[in-house]
Amino acid sequence: MRSSSLVGLVAVLVCLPASAVASVPVLADATLLKKAGIPLRDFDPETGVALTELRPEQQRRLQELAHEEGRCGGFEALPAQPWLKGEDGRQALLDLRAARRRTEAEAEALRRSPGRAGTLERKPEIEAALKQVSEENLRAWVGWFSSFADRFNQGSQPNAPVEALQAKLKELVRSTPFAVSVETIAHQSTPQKSLRVRIAGKSRPKEIVVLGAHLDSINQDFWGSSPLAPGADDNASGSSNLYEALRILVQQPQPERTVEFFWYAGEESGLLGSAEIAKSYKGASQRVVAVLQLDMTLFPGSGEGTLGSMTDFTSPWLRQYFAGLNAAYIGAKIVDDQCGYGCSDHASWHRQGYPALMPFEATFGDMNHKLHTAKDLIDSSSSFRHSAMFARIALAFAMDLGNSTAQAP
């Protein structure tokens, strides 16, 4: 049983939510809730997901049960998600059902006409751009992000790293020959802001390609002696991959589609920034054609060059497209896996019906277990060669999808 092993114990510790002190609304697997003897407040028979409120001891019981089944958290969405309260909780159940139906229809459409996965045409300008990705730049950026005491959305200076990065991004795009905007996005659910860089599309500006990473970090190590949250792997790594991809992208011709880069606020407290952003895009009927999420890319737990591709809360079409992109440009070994719950910001976009992709440093079981502790630093286990692969994925994703007409069936 996994929870009796040391690995399991470490996983239990790092996965305990910061909010384990109050009663919190969650969406969780109904079978698991029933097993734990927890009453359901609302239930969707189609997805098997239920809405309930959990007291701290119930959260722990559910987490233990989930860990016995080999999953971190066990919630479809972990606690501290204010938008799950009241009517919004009901809406979240409905959104999830709609997302599940769309995903099934997409998978069915792919089965009917399998397309040409793995036969994506190589473009010399993309190959040339990919060669410019620098491991040394990534090392410097991960060091920079992890040098803040924390990037916690509930910390004393939640916007210090946001404003510092904004200044660096403005500097980066200052002399770009086409318009690039750099803005902060304020939120209802957290004082921390998200950052967005937008490159307007030349011929099809209404079609949006999104690339994102969460900028915040958290320390959930109750037994640790340090309050620092350097979050080198989680998620200075993905944040740095995006900066490196953007640095090279702005030296290329203006893309045909709009390409947006996000550094999200408050992911660790419940996908807060991305939930608000994806919801507002849906509300404004924005056409987001694809979403890439990079969250943890520095620890080659399943071997250098091997990545885990999450199959839950992601799009079958985009995963098939990614297989083709990988064959043409990257050459990673892709292992399909699942988080088992909405483990990062891709879930926010998926929930609103947008096609999302989540390539991860390793399989779920092989991930870096120093996450959410003061020990999540650059160390001998870090591989910038491995992480550079994800910067190349981001750049190829932006350049290829940004100039194509590909979209979900």
> Could you say whether residue 26 binds ligand BES (CB under 6 A)?
no
Looking at the Cβ atoms of 65 and 77, the one nearer to ligand BES is: 77
Looking at the Cβ atoms of 361 and 400, the one nearer to ligand BES is: 361
One of 106, 150, 234, 276 touching ligand BES (CB under 6 A): 234
Beta bridge partners of 208: 258, 288
Rounded Cα distance between 76 and 80, Å, is 13
Looking at the Cβ atoms of 329 and 354, the one nearer to ligand BES is: 354
Least Cα distance to 164 among 149, 180, 179 occurs for: 149
Instruction: Kindly give, in sequence order, each residue whose CB lies less than 8 Å from that of residue 299, ignoring residues fewer than 6 positions away.
Output: 233, 361, 362, 367, 368, 381, 382, 383, 386
DSSP 150-165: ---TTSS-TTHHHHHH
8 A C-beta contact, residue 224 and residue 302: no
Looking at the Cβ atoms of 343 and 389, the one nearer to ligand BES is: 343
DSSP state of 328: I
> Could you say whether residue 367 binds ligand BES (CB under 6 A)?
yes
> Could you say whether residue 263 binds ligand BES (CB under 6 A)?
no
Q: Phi and psi of 285, rounded to 5°?
A: 50, 40
One of 268, 276, 376, 400 touching ligand BES (CB under 6 A): 268
Instruction: Kindly give, in sequence order, each residue whose CB lies less than 8 Å from that of residue 248, ignoring residues fewer than 6 positions away.
Output: 129, 132, 133, 395
Among the listed ranges 205-213, 244-252, 335-343, 374-382, the one in contact with ligand BES (CB under 6 A) is 335-343
> Could you say whether residue 295 binds Zn ion (CB under 5 A)?
yes
> Could you say whether residue 78 binds ligand BES (CB under 6 A)?
yes
Among the listed ranges 70-78, 117-125, 183-191, 241-249, the one in contact with ligand BES (CB under 6 A) is 70-78
* # chain residues binding Zn ion, by CB under 5 A: 3
Q: Which residues bind ligand BES (CB under 6 A)?
A: 15, 72-73, 77-78, 234-235, 267-268, 270-271, 295-296, 339, 342-344, 360, 364, 367, 371
